[in-house]
Structure 1
Amino acid sequence: MDQMTPSKFSPYRFYSAEEWAAFRAGQPLTLTQEEVKRLRTMGDPVDLDEVGRIYLAVSRLLYAHVEASQALFSQREKFLARSGATKTPFIIGIAGSVAVGKSTTARVLKELLARWPTSPKVDLVTTDGFLFPNAVLQAEGLMQRKGFPESYDVGTILRFLSDIKAGVRHVEAPVYSHFVYDVVQGQHVSVDQPDILIFEGLNVLQVRDLPKDGKIVPFVSDFFDFSIYIDAEETDIRRWYIERFMRLRETAFRDEGSFFHRYSQIDEAEALEIAEGLWANINGRNLYENILPTRPRADLILRKGSAHRIEQVALRKL
C-alpha cells in the first residue's frame, strides 16, 4: 500500500494544499517577496503564495508543538521535584531527496519561526558538513556513494545533537562547500543554545539494524522533536535534478575553482548524459535505497507536484 494513499489504516491525515491553507488561521505573513527570492534555492519556484498556502500553517503547527514541549518539560521537572533547569532546544529534522527543495523549506521555516511574537532564537544546520572529507571517501572507495548513509560521520552527528540537547554552549558544526564539493577544513559554525534547531539532510530519518542483545543504539532522529519529509514523484525529482545540473554548468561551474568546472567545458549533449548518469547511479539509487524508505517515519509529509509546488500534506495522527 502506498503510504501517501489515504486509507483508514494510514497513520496520517491527508489534506490538499487548499485545505491545509485554511489552518493558517490568520497567521500574519511576515516575509516579503524579495526575502523569499533570497531564501529559495535554484530551480525552486516557491513564492509568497506558496508561503501563505503551506508554510504559515506549518509554522503555526510547529509553534503549537514547541509550546506543548515546553509545558511537558515543566510538568516533568515538577514530577522530578527539580527546579532551575533550562529547557533544551526543540529540534526539527527535515529529510528528502537531493533537488526536492529541502534547503528552501528549511530556510523559509527558519525565517518564519524566528518571527514569532516570542522572537525565538532559531539556528539551521545541514548534514553536508558531517560528510567525511573527500580524502577519506576516496581512501575508502566511497566517492561514488557520497550522500549515502555510510559517507557521513554519524558519530560526530550524534555527539553534536547530544550536546545540543544537553544545553551545551557553543557547539561546533563542520562547514561544507558545494563550490569545492568538500568539507572545509578548520571551519565551523557555532550553535549556542538556540530555542529551535532545524537539522536538514538527506538521511536524517535513517535507522540502522538493531542489535540482538538490546544494546542502546541511538539514531539521529532520536534527538528530533518533530520531523518533516519533502516528497515528490521520482520522475519529477529526476527532472529537477537534471535541470539544475544543466543550469549550474552555465553559472557556478564556469568558475575555474569549482569542483565541477570540467562539466562547463563539454557540449550540452555530453553534459546531459553525465547528469542522467549521476542520477541513475548515485542520487536515484540513494533515494530508493535509503531516503524514500524513511518517509513513513516523518511527522509531516509535504508532497510536491510536477510544478515544484506542494499539492498534498500528510500529518501524522496523534
Structure 2
Amino acid sequence: MTTRPQIVHSRATPDKPVVPSPYRVFTRAEWAELRADTPMTLTEAEVLRLRGLNERLSIEEVIEIYLPLSRLLSLYVHATQDLFKATRYFLGAKDGKVPYIIGVAGSVAVGKSTTARVLQALLTRWPNTPKVDVVTTDGFLYPNAVLQRENLMERKGFPESYDIPALLNFLSRIKSGERNVAAPLYSHFIYDVLPPDQQVIVDRPDILIVEGLNVLQTGRPPRDGKAVPFVSDFFDFSIYVDAETDDLETWYVDRFMTLRRTAFRDPGSYFHRYSTLSDEEAVETALSIWRRINLVNLEENILPTRQRADLILTKGDLHRIDEVWLRRL
C-alpha cells in the first residue's frame, strides 16, 4: 500500500507537547461552524451540475466546507480591495481594479475542477465579487505535435510539458489589470490544445481561479533576481486538494471505467480504442497509466508542493473532505 507522507503536526496530549505547525487544523465539524450566518445560495440542482465525474459532492459538503471557505475568501478579497484602494490613493494613481487570483492544485482525479467550479458559483453570489472566472492550466500544455516531437507524450502533465513562459505572460497581463486577455483551451475529448481561434477571454474579473496540477511548482530562481520565475508568485491565495494515494488510484480507475462506457465510445475520442477493452483489460490499462505517469508526477512534482498552499482540503475515501488546514498569517 502506498500512502502520502504526512504533514508535520500533532495535537497536544498530557504527555505529548504540540509539534509546531504553520497550519491551523480544523475537523469538518469545527470548520463548518465558521460558516456563521452565510446563506446557502446554491440549489440542489446546481450542486448536481457542479459535481465531477464519479464524485459525490453533496449539499452538506457545500454547506459545511465550501460556504465557510467562500466566506473566508470574500473577506480576504475585500481586504485586498481596500488595500489596493489605499495604495492607489497614496500614489494618486487611476489604475483599474486588479483581479484577486486563487490557485487550486492537486493530483489527477482528486477533484480540483469541482473545487474550482463550486468556489466560482459561491463567490459570484458575494456582493464584492460578482465576476469570477476560471482558467485551467491544461490550455497551456504544449500541443501534442510538439510533445510527440520532443518525446514528451508520456510526460504530459509534468512541468516540462507546459508552455510556462506563455502561462507566466498570461498571469502577468491579468495581474497588470489588462482587459480582454486570451487564454488557450484544452479538450479532454481530443486530448489536445484547441486551435487559437477557440480561446477564452478573461476581461478583468474580480477573482480569477487558476486550476492545475503543477500551479504550486517551484524551480531554481534566476541568478540575476530579475525574473518572476513561478506561477504561484501571481497568486493571492492557494488551495491544495489532498487525498491518500490509494484513494486517488481508485478514483482514477473508476473514472477511466466510466469514460470507457461513455465518452470513449465516440469514434472522435482520442481514447476510442479503449472502449472495446474487456473489464479486466480496462482496469489493467487504467492502472498502468496511473502508475506509469500520474503516480510518478504526483510523487515527484505535485505532492512536494502541498505545504506551499495557504489552505489544504483533505479528502477521505468517499471524496468527502474530513479536515481543513489553514496557514497561519
How does the TM-score come out when normalised to structure 2?
0.94
Preserved CA contact (<8 Å) 1:89 1:195:
yes
Give yes or no for contact 1:176–1:182 (8 Å, CA) kept in 2. yes
Given the alignment, which residue of 115, 121, 143 partners 1:133? 143
* Counterpart Cα distance in 1 of 2:127 and 2:225: 44
Name the counterpart of 1:3.
Answer: 7
8 A contact 2:135–2:209 mirrored in 1: yes
Are 1:21 and 2:32 matched, yes or no?
A: yes
How far is the alpha carbon of 1:202 from its aligned partner?
Answer: 0.3
The separation in 2 between residues aligned to 1:156 and 1:135, in whole angstroms, is: 17
How do 1:1-318 residues align onto structure 2 when only pairs under 5 Å count? Answer: 2-3=6-7, 5-6=9-10, 7-80=18-91, 82-118=92-128, 120-186=130-196, 187-318=198-329
Secondary structure at the aligned position of 1:95 is classed as: strand
What is the CA deviation profile of residues 268-305 of structure 1, one whole-angstrom value per residue up to 9, with x for unaligned ones? 11111110010111000000000000100000000000
Q: Which letter maps to 1:256?
A: P
CA contact (8 A) 2:263 2:269 kept: yes
User: How many residue pairs end up in the alignment?
Assistant: 317
SS at match of 1:94: strand
Percent identity for Structure 1 against Structure 2: 61
Question: Aligned-pair distance for 1:218?
Answer: 2.3
Distance 1:154 1:106 in 2: 21
Kindly indicate whether the alpha-carbon contact (under 8 Å) linking 1:40 and 1:103 is maintained by their aligned counterparts in 2: no
**Which digits, 9 at most, give the CA deviation of each residue in 1:3-59, with x for residues without a partner?**
263354210000001100000001000101111111111011011110001000000
By how many angstroms is 1:117 displaced?
A: 2.7
Q: Helix, strand or coil for the counterpart of 1:249?
A: helix
Residues in 2 aligned to 1:158 and 1:214: alpha-carbon distance in whole angstroms: 16
**Any idea what the Cα deviations from partners look like across 1:68-119, whole Å, max 9, x if unmatched?**
1112112222333x23222200000000001000000000000000011345
Unaligned runs of 5+ in 2: 11-17
Q: Do the aligned residues in 1 keep the contact of 2:102 with 2:235 (CA within 8 Å)?
A: yes
Q: What code does the residue aligned with 1:51 have?
A: V
TM-align CA RMSD: 1.3
Aligned 8 A contact 1:145 1:151 in 2: yes
State the secondary structure of the residue aligned to 2:261: coil
The 1-side partners of 2:263 and 2:56 are apart by 19
- 2:288 and 2:56 mapped to 1: Cα distance? 25
Give the match's secondary structure for 1:185: coil
Q: For 2:239 and 2:140, locate their aligned partners in 1 and report how far apart those are by CA, in whole Å.
A: 20
TM-score, with structure 1 as normaliser: 0.97
Structure 1: 5+ residue runs without aligned partners?
none
